[in-house]
Chains A and B, each alone.
Chain A
Amino acid sequence: MPMESISKQSMPSGALAMLILRVLRAGPLHGYAIAQKIHVLSNEVLEVEEGSLYPALQKILLKGWVSAEWGISETSRKVRFYKLTAAGRKQLEAELRDYDRVTEAIKAILRTA
């Protein structure tokens, strides 16, 4: 109902899933770390809020692209770590390929037009 779309406006949900998969390629991370890493890697441009991060993570879990395991955080608290699965790796590669193709196409149009 209300309040649904505030955080989603800043980033399309498909892109978020791709970014999550991308930052997990280096190794397992917990939710907060994922958000932080995206924030840092994007030169502090992209902000991922809880409201979009956790639904996206749940969706990716359902798809089987990541698996979750309980571990201990740097603040020694029990927390869930997300790890890329083989299916997730394949999905990431496919999405990156698609993304490259689409950006190339858009660039080409922008150059000529």
Chain B
Amino acid sequence: MGELWRRLWYLLHRRQMQRELQDEMAFHREMLERGGTPRRRFGNETRLQEQAHETWGWTWIERLAQDLRYGMRTLMRSPAFSIAAVLVLAVGIGVNVAAFGLFNMFVLKPLPVRDPDTLVRLQRSAPGTFSSSVPYPSIAFYRDHAKTLHAVIASTDRDVILERENLPARTRFVTSNLFHELGAETGLGRVFDPALDDRKDAPPVVMLSHTFWEQRYDSDPTVVGRVVHLNHKPATVIGVAPRNFSGLGLPHEPAFWAPLVQQPYFVEGSTVLTDTSLGGLVDMWARLEKGVSPKMAEQELLALTNELRRQSPNSVWDNERLVSEPGGYLQAVRKDDVPMLMLVATLVLLILTVACSNLGGLMLARGVTRSHEISIRFALGASRRRIVRQLLTESLLLAAMAALAGLGMGYVCLRVFLSRVNAPPWLNPAPDWRVVLFAGGVGLIAAVVFGLAPALQLTAKRRRGTRSRQILVTAQIAASCVLLIVAGLLVRALHFAVSSDAGYDHEHILVVDPDLAAHGYSATTARSYLDTAQTRVRQLPGVISVGLTSMAPLGHKNVTSLGGYPFGIYVSRVEPGFFSTMGIARLSGRDVQREDKNEIVVSESLARRMWPGQSPLGKQFLLDPSNALSEKLTVVGVVANARTMSMHDPDATELYQMSDDASLPHMVLLVRTQGKPEDLATAVRTVTSSIDSGLFPTVRRLSESFQDEVGTVEKGALIASLMGASAVLLAAVGLLGLVAYAVSQKTREIAVRLALGAKRTHVIRAMLRQFVGPVAVGLVGGAGLAAAASQLLRRILYGVSGLDPAAYLGAIGLLTIIIAFAAWLPARRALAVDAMRVLRHE
């Protein structure tokens, strides 16, 4: 320890130490001279001193400083090159930093709450079944009995009507320990308190989210204590959540927070607190007791689940267990997400590859102009290692500057992204230590990748310029080819999604969701409500027809699909009139009928997959293909394909069955209008809410949801196109530089050939021949890589094949044209040279 300290002291005081050493050695000489030793026997003074202070062990740092100073001077001498290099690499690093920053924000960075690491999210899992929510009675049971859990938090979302407005406001109903448990007591007013707010007879209270308080109440502090009406029920505002309060990181910041026990007060008839099925959609979190690992908690909870099964058999599945995932983060990575993450990582790394190979080419080309300098340094006795180190230091300098610029670019990208998606204020895009470390790491790797090969080559005894140039060209072309093809596929998919027939008429339909299930409706009461509503809406002028379905088209709610088949089958419970209202064409057979039990109507895609080449009518359909004894359904009709559930999944098929008792409370009304549907929205809302004053039906246009879906692809295609475009631009610039360099190398040869009467086309061909191979290999390799990657893209390609020829040929064609242009430009310039002048000059 003492030695290290002394070494450091030497480093910090090395000028003084050097002076002292010099003094001391001068004295030694004086004494020697006095003793009569002849002067010529003294050694090289400087060298002797160097040897003495080399023992301090800091020579490398001095050499590094020297290299850095020298590198800086070299870069300053050719500012155009330096700026171009930094920019090219900054784009490559910036894209990676932005992608990693997003990943960091969602997955790696803990939420800004107290002790995020001891929070877990708990979800139900059994073989073949999974549910992200847990019935509230079960949650209460776990809370009361689990010893490994310090606290249990539950949360459920619900839209409510504020005062008399039409627009719904999102309210998050939570257990009242939430704010204390997450350490968020710093807002305005007070937060929920289990002692005050957890009794069912407690006075109804709500809290405002900070954003809603700003937008709706103009940050007025006197709002605390005021009475507001949610779903026409009065409640007192007791406080405002802190500005940076993330809650448990659920998407869509709510407008209001309210105690979960008061949910039935606001939502009339709600059974969320007593329902043991999954109707309530309550999410469960827990804070682990000190020193308890998630695994230990899972074990105790498994025992409790078995106990719960004994007490209330209906609320637990066979072989059910609660599984935990980290709860203190915005998003936990699941197995399903991995392919998509890999895909994005590959795409951004490809851009980095293009940038690196590009810069490698630039360095190589520039290195030639420095070959003079390098040979002088060799001649002066520098070793190859020393020179490579010097060249690498320069690359490192470039990479460091690019990493800094990339960090900035990534930050700007994230800011723009967050502002576009209305991110909550607590999401902070500023780079933290992980992002900085990442940028530094990427910069370092990039420096080695683009710097090492040219450095080795420039210092090699025998120059083999073509080989590394060819590798660089191949890598660039292949990477840009992949990016272009992926971009092309996404653009094609967008085009397909927008232009192709969705299979139904989304322009003239209103979707009315009375959400009967949430209000505790039974099959009988739901039936009577739905009948009344249908009759009254049908009487409105401008309404053509009304249909009912359990799965609102593009609604992402109450989604039911069959497992066990190799393709997705969405099961909708519908009533007669659904198909005509939606505008889904009937191809053969009949519509569903009220008396139907096991009769079903299938989509054409399902019929084709199940019984290719046969008539599906009268065929038997097994609900569970692995169990021959499971319920058998008979096909009575076939309708056209309608991409009502997932517009983007080419494998999705549809199955329709007559509604039953279980599905009736989940029914939504579809209203087909003659003119614009928005003109009728208010009338439809008035009519459907007048039947039961406790209900607040939501009314939305189907075309709105349709645009949202398309918008998602549009964004993806835009980002992919931008990435593809930047990659192609980088590749073009890089190739231009490489060809220009290759040509400049051969100016004399060209001049001689021209002087001897060679045809210009021949000369061009001879010059460009070396690039043909690498470009071809790059294109083919890139197309192959893209084909492999497209399997991952399949689900979001909206029915466009991952091997879509238009995308592939388009990308390859475009790339070839750009390459040809990039090669032709410098080649042409070379041919324009005056042969005689070149020869004379040389």
> A residues touching B (Cβ–Cβ < 8 Å)?
1, 3-4, 30-32, 35, 49-51, 53-55, 57-59, 61-64, 73, 75, 77-80
Contact of B43 among A50, A58, A61 (CB under 8 A): A50
CB distance from A63 to the nearest CB of B (A): 6
CB distance from B391 to the nearest CB of A (A): 20
Q: How far is the CA of A32 from the CA of B28 in the complex (A)?
A: 5
Instruction: Say whether chain B's binding surface is mostly helix, strand, loop, or mixed.
Output: helix
Chain B residues closer than 8 Å to A54, beta-carbon distance: 21, 24-25, 28, 48-49, 51-52
Chain B residues closer than 8 Å to A78, beta-carbon distance: 23
* B7 contacts chain A at the CB level, 8 A cutoff: yes
The segment from B53-61, B194-202, B281-289, B397-405 found at the interface with A is: B53-61
Verify A31–B52 contact, CB threshold 8 A.
Answer: no
Q: How far is the CA of A84 from the CA of B36 in the complex (A)?
A: 30
Chain B residues closer than 8 Å to A53, beta-carbon distance: 28
In the complex with contacts A3-B44, A58-B55, A62-B7, A75-B20 CB distance below 8 A: no
* B27 contacts chain A at the CB level, 8 A cutoff: yes
Q: Which of B24-39 contact A (CB under 8 A)?
A: 24-25, 27-32, 34
Verify A64–B6 contact, CB threshold 8 A.
Answer: yes
In the complex with contacts A3-B43, A49-B43, A64-B2, A31-B28 CB distance below 8 A: yes
* B336 contacts chain A at the CB level, 8 A cutoff: no
Q: For residue A52, which residue of chain B has the nearest CB?
A: B51
Verify A62–B44 contact, CB threshold 8 A.
Answer: no
User: How many contacts A-B (CB < 8 Å)?
Assistant: 69
Chain B residues closer than 8 Å to A55, beta-carbon distance: 51-52, 54-55
Chain B residues closer than 8 Å to A79, beta-carbon distance: 23-24, 27
In the complex with contacts A4-B51, A55-B54, A62-B6 CB distance below 8 A: yes
Q: How far is the CA of A54 from the CA of B32 in the complex (A)?
A: 15
Q: How far is the CA of A51 from the CA of B49 in the complex (A)?
A: 8
Verify B3–A32 contact, CB threshold 8 A.
Answer: no
CB distance from A79 to the nearest CB of B (A): 5
Chain A residues closer than 8 Å to B7, beta-carbon distance: 62
In the complex with contacts A32-B32, A51-B48, A75-B30, A62-B3 CB distance below 8 A: yes
Chain A residues closer than 8 Å to B840, beta-carbon distance: none
Q: For residue A80, which residue of chain B has the nearest CB?
A: B24
Verify A77–B43 contact, CB threshold 8 A.
Answer: no
> B residues touching A (Cβ–Cβ < 8 Å)?
2-3, 6-7, 10, 20-21, 23-25, 27-32, 34, 42-44, 47-49, 51-56, 381
Verify B43–A80 contact, CB threshold 8 A.
Answer: no
Q: How far is the CA of A35 from the CA of B24 in the complex (A)?
A: 13
Q: For residue B42, which residue of chain A has the nearest CB?
A: A50
Contact of B31 among A32, A51, A63 (CB under 8 A): A32
Chain B residues closer than 8 Å to A77, beta-carbon distance: 27, 30
Q: For residue B28, which residue of chain A has the nearest CB?
A: A32
Chain A residues closer than 8 Å to B49, beta-carbon distance: 54
Verify B6–A51 contact, CB threshold 8 A.
Answer: no
Q: How far is the CA of A59 from the CA of B135 in the complex (A)?
A: 74
Q: For residue B17, which residue of chain A has the nearest CB?
A: A58
Q: How far is the CA of A73 from the CA of B27 in the complex (A)?
A: 9
Chain A residues closer than 8 Å to B56, beta-carbon distance: 58, 62
Q: How far is the CA of A31 from the CA of B27 in the complex (A)?
A: 9
Q: For residue A59, which residue of chain B has the nearest CB?
A: B55
Verify A51–B51 contact, CB threshold 8 A.
Answer: yes
A-B contact pairs, 26 of them (CB 8 A): A4-B51, A31-B28, A32-B27, A32-B28, A32-B31, A32-B32, A50-B25, A50-B28, A50-B42, A50-B43, A51-B51, A54-B21, A54-B25, A54-B28, A54-B49, A54-B51, A55-B51, A58-B52, A59-B55, A62-B55, A63-B3, A64-B2, A64-B6, A75-B30, A77-B30, A80-B24
CB distance from A90 to the nearest CB of B (A): 14
Chain B residues closer than 8 Å to A51, beta-carbon distance: 43, 48, 51
CB distance from A15 to the nearest CB of B (A): 17
Closest 9 CB pairs of A and B: A54-B52, A58-B55, A32-B31, A59-B55, A32-B28, A55-B52, A79-B27, A55-B55, A80-B24
* Residue of A1, A50, A51, A78 with most partner-chain B CB within 10 A: A50
CB distance from B809 to the nearest CB of A (A): 61
Q: For residue B45, which residue of chain A has the nearest CB?
A: A50
Extra 19 A-B pairs, beta carbons < 8 Å, given A55-B55, A58-B55:
A3-B44, A3-B47, A31-B24, A31-B28, A32-B27, A32-B32, A35-B28, A50-B25, A51-B43, A51-B48, A53-B28, A54-B21, A54-B48, A58-B56, A62-B7, A64-B2, A64-B6, A75-B30, A75-B31
Q: How far is the CA of A77 from the CA of B23 in the complex (A)?
A: 10
Q: How far is the CA of A77 from the CA of B381 in the complex (A)?
A: 39
CB distance from B338 to the nearest CB of A (A): 52
CB distance from A58 to the nearest CB of B (A): 4
CB distance from B435 to the nearest CB of A (A): 40
Q: How far is the CA of A35 from the CA of B7 in the complex (A)?
A: 25
Chain A residues closer than 8 Å to B43, beta-carbon distance: 3, 49-51
Chain B residues closer than 8 Å to A32, beta-carbon distance: 27-28, 31-32
Q: How far is the CA of A77 from the CA of B25 in the complex (A)?
A: 13
Q: How far is the CA of A30 from the CA of B6 in the complex (A)?
A: 21
Q: For residue A58, which residue of chain B has the nearest CB?
A: B55
Chain A residues closer than 8 Å to B6, beta-carbon distance: 61-62, 64
CB distance from A71 to the nearest CB of B (A): 12
CB distance from A6 to the nearest CB of B (A): 8
Chain B residues closer than 8 Å to A59, beta-carbon distance: 55
